[in-house]
Chains A and B, each alone.
Chain A
Amino acid sequence: MSILTAERLCVGYGRRALAQELSFQIDRGEILGIVGPNGCGKTTLLRTILGLMAPLAGHVHREAGVTVTYVPQRERLETILPITALEIVLMGRAARFGAWQRMGQRDRDAARRTLARVDAEALGPQLFRNLSGGQQQRVILARALAAEPDVLVLDEPTAGMDIGSEATILDFLRDLNRSQGATILIVTHILPLVLNLATNVMLMDAGTILCGPVNDVVREDRLTALYGVPVHLGQVAGRRVLVVGRAGASDV
């Protein structure tokens, strides 16, 4: 069942189109990874889907009553504000309410529970600006979850994180999808993240997209052509891995 549909979408800035005639749909309960080289229009497409930018042509249709929340790159957030992690999570709940409604103890308890879900309950009283990158990411993820979304949209959710923090976030997203059927949309330039998390992938290149199940879309020949370097796919400990470059050269 489609929760979000794009029809003949053209995205870009001003009169410059980055991608045209994009038609796709996102189904309830899927994890969609949007990947592609730098400058291909991933973030522009994401912003258009979210309604932060108007499409140059075409339209995006959301199923009625669907709640979407957005986890931006944490570098974009204001750090001058002396605001605690708990207050930030409460902002996520506040967005659900009308301007006249006031939050009470029940909302604060719910915000604490949401922080606990991302293993960050102890961070509640601490100032957001004093937290590490991984901790900040968990807090803004908790803010998005506090709004009890149907669709969770994440922009580079593991950027700048160490592998431990990255694994924690990915495991949480996987559990969220499995246990609650949450629809998750991730934009990233980190391909292995999508390979091991997403159910479907949208590969963007030079204004076109290829969308489908990960195994169908992500192929060595495609990635090699897309990125202009040899790409090899394999498996280690049951997880997909990606090796970039010629044999004997640098590996990723």
Chain B
Amino acid sequence: MFEAPFMRVALLASVAASLPLSVLGVYLVIRRVVFLGLVLANAATVGAAVAQVANWPPEIAAVIAAVATSFCLGALPAPRHVAAESVIGWAYAAATSLTVLILAGAARADADTLHLLYGNVLAVSRSHANGLIAVAIGVGVVHVLFGSRFLLVTFDAEAAQVAGVRTRLWSTSLNLSIGVAAAVTVHEIGALLTFALLTLPPMTALLIGRRIRTVFALSAFIGLGAVWLGLVAAFQFDLPPGPLSVALLALAVPVAGIASHWRS
């Protein structure tokens, strides 16, 4: 099935999208802000929608929108009377409604619009797949170099700040890398799979992993396995690969939950 060039490119794009999202998502799950992934994916969609209306390059607009959103959410002081996740919920609602309104007002509400909202990994071009690979390598390098700093600010940001670590810098850098990864993938694989890869592999890995390094490795492996299986099954049963991958990832969570419960 991978003899066809479009399938090979789809596999390459899926792998390149799943690895950074599955690894970076671990931080989102640990920080209990999984919906930040959804917000960033939707912010990227807003950027791409604006770009479509204004005839700008959608990829650049998507990255700018996601990076700006992650920067703003990271820089804002925590509200005292509502939970941080409520602010993230607000940002999600605002981004989604804005996307629909922008696209509704656009003259070209066609297949491009559907692609923008739902993505289609089977339609990814080789150049776009290369872009995803570049981002995956970049995220990998940043993670290898500064992963210990990201963990430091994730585990106890205040103690790290008191000890002299520039927590705002590292927290914003982490958000930015998540923003960039989400922005470049959402246009190719859609907001649903982007959000699922940021959330479900880390959840599954945290349920069964007993060491932090194992969790990161497992999360990457689960994300990778799900998109590969999704592609194979989609080809065999003539189903859309994105939702199929999400369904597999969703299935992995209760399985891991049962395994974890059984083991303990």
Contacts and interface: CB of A to CB of B under 8 A. Distances in A.
Interface in A53-74: 67-72
Contacts of A100: 145
Contact of B163 (A70, A76, A84): A70
Contacts of B210: 82, 127
Interface residues of A, number: 35
Contact of A94 (B29, B152, B161): B152
B161 A52 contact: yes
B163 A69 contact: yes
Contacts of A78: 30-31, 154-156
Given A88-B155, A95-B152, A100-B145, A81 B162 contact: no
B28 to A, nearest CB: 11
A95 B165 contact: yes
Given A82-B215, A94-B152, A95-B152, A68 B209 contact: no
A81 B154 contact: yes
Given A82-B206, A99-B146, A127-B210, A91 B162 contact: no
B164 interface: yes
Given A78-B30, A81-B30, A87-B212, A51 B161 contact: yes
A88 B170 CA distance: 18
Given A13-B80, A70-B158, A78-B154, A95 B206 contact: no
B113 to A, nearest CB: 38
> 8 tightest CB-CB pairs across the interface, nearest first?
A95-B163, A70-B162, A70-B159, A50-B162, A80-B30, A95-B165, A99-B149, A83-B212
Interface of A: 13-14, 50-52, 67-72, 76-78, 80-84, 87-88, 91-92, 94-96, 99-100, 103, 127, 140, 143-144, 147, 153
